[in-house]
Amino acid sequence: MPVRTPPRRHQRPAAAPNPTVGTELELEVTGVAHGGVMVARHEGRVVFVSDAIPGERVRARVTEAKKSFWRADTLEVLEASPHRQPHVWAEASLDRDPEGRAGGAEFGHIELAHQRELKRQVVADALARFARVDAGGLEVQALDGDDDSSGTGWRTRVRLQVAADGTVGPYAARSHTVIPVRSLPLAAEAIAEIAPLATRFGDAASVDLVAPSGGRALTVVTTRDGSRPPAEAITERVGDREFALDALGFWQVHLRAAQTLTTAVQRAIDADAFDPRAANLDLYGGVGLLAAAVGDRFGQATRITSVESSEPATDFAARNLSDWVGARALTARVEHFVKGLAENATALERGRQRAATVVLDPPRSGAGRAVVDELVRTGPAQVIYVACDPVAFARDAALFGDAGYGIRSLEAFDLFPNTHHVELVAHLTRD
């Protein structure tokens, strides 16, 4: 008879897997949620469903089951929305098992005009819930040429992942599984031409493809130990101006995004409230794109300080902003830079801070309370907030609102067609 050793007291039996995961459900999809998924309910529980459209009835498989919500992937559309189209990326379509669908084009099965309507709904819902702001008249604007191309061919930067066997491709959605693909429909033509989709890589972890507007497209391979070739400087053109930056440095991805945001920021600034001698700021300034937008509108004597945590980006910003005698670029974390600005200022500096225009272009997580609280203590005349995440922006807008800064204008741009992402440019001033 086999002898069974009793478990030690500090050991617990392994938990049984959640029996709900893998279950297939028929769901009525009722709305859109932030993050590129749709909303349904099953026996009162919220289910976030991928690859669906509001108004559809779908068969979906549960992939995650938490107390507060479930996640599910669409397997079959039982009643289709009139806004459904063949997916722009064959490797991401419903024909594939969900685990084998390429990620990065989660709205590719939806007509472009309806994509923008869903994005508008997400923005309006976030502002209503977090900031108590009515964005009823907002429209998500398309960039020139995107409707003609069905929202493809716009990405000037693509990162491909490399699997353990050397296969290259994008990750599957919400996964680190590399999906081999034969096409990159969202990529600009110059990217598609150099994409090594059939290549096997040895010790590589990722492959970056970059197509700058001011030169040839290039490939940068990063190995599994994090090493890569020495940084190569590239040039991006916006109108008549050139910007130098590192090949893997931050730059807007859509080939027309930099010009769109330059114009939008210039339009958002109230010229009557702008003082070129004030302590104007460009926070999270990168290589100086938006500081240059301010300088180009208000002249070479404009004083503006661009603050960026990346030292290489700051070095490029100093070079890119050299046309303006009052411009400077500082390397610092924004939360550290703004801390104590008001408290340590002289009377003259406090006056310049109160007259300032602040351009704020934070990462996807938003600026956050630490930055907003310190910033409003300086009392700037106006804030131009550029946001790539509507929920993070709405939370920050609520903080600004509590300090007496309201949204005076808001524009939304579809800088990322066939994905759920949307870009906002807001003008905030004191009540």
Looking at residue 3, its pLDDT comes to 34
Record the tokens describing residue 266, joined without a space: 């210039």
| Gap between the Cα atoms of 170 and 157, Å rounded | 13
* Residues 140/270/328/393 CA torsion (nearest 10 deg): -40
Looking at residue 207, its pLDDT comes to 97
- Residues for the chain: how many in total? 431
Instruction: Please determine, for residue 5, whether its predicted confidence score (pLDDT) is greater than 90.
Output: no
Q: Model confidence over 245-284: pLDDT tens digits?
A: 999 999 999 999 999 999 999 999 999 999 999 999 999 9
Written as one letter, the residue type at 17 is P
Looking at residue 19, its pLDDT comes to 63
Looking at residue 9, its pLDDT comes to 39
Looking at residue 18, its pLDDT comes to 66
Contact 384, 357 (CB under 8 A): yes
Looking at residue 120, its pLDDT comes to 98
Contact 63, 26 (CB under 8 A): no
Distances 389 to 167, 394, 414 between C-alpha atoms, Å: 32, 9, 12
Instruction: Please determine, for residue 1, whether its predicted confidence score (pLDDT) is greater than 60.
Output: no
Looking at residue 236, its pLDDT comes to 98
270 labelled binding-site residue: no
282 labelled binding-site residue: no
The pTM assigned to this predicted structure is 0.93
- Lowest average pLDDT, out of 13-22, 358-367, 371-380, goes to 13-22
Q: Model confidence over 39-80: pLDDT tens digits?
A: 999 999 999 999 999 999 999 999 999 999 999 999 999 999
Instruction: Please determine, for residue 17, whether its predicted confidence score (pLDDT) is greater than 60.
Output: no
232 labelled binding-site residue: no
Confidence of residue 340 (pLDDT cuts 50, 70, 90): confident
| Gap between the Cα atoms of 208 and 199, Å rounded | 14
Cβ-based burial of 292 (10 A; exposed 0-12, middle 13-18, buried ≥19): buried
Q: Model confidence over 146-196: pLDDT tens digits?
A: 999 999 999 999 999 999 999 999 999 889 999 999 999 999 999 999 999
Looking at residue 4, its pLDDT comes to 35
Q: Which residues are catalytic?
A: 388
Q: Please give the domain boundaries of the chain with CATH numbers for all domains.
A: 24-84 (2.40.50.140), 120-146+255-430 (3.40.50.150), 157-237 (no CATH)
Confidence of residue 6 (pLDDT cuts 50, 70, 90): very low
Looking at residue 174, its pLDDT comes to 85
171 labelled binding-site residue: no
Mean pLDDT rounded to a whole number for the chain: 94
H helices of 342-423, where? 347-354, 369-378, 390-402
Residues of the chain above pLDDT 70, percent: 96
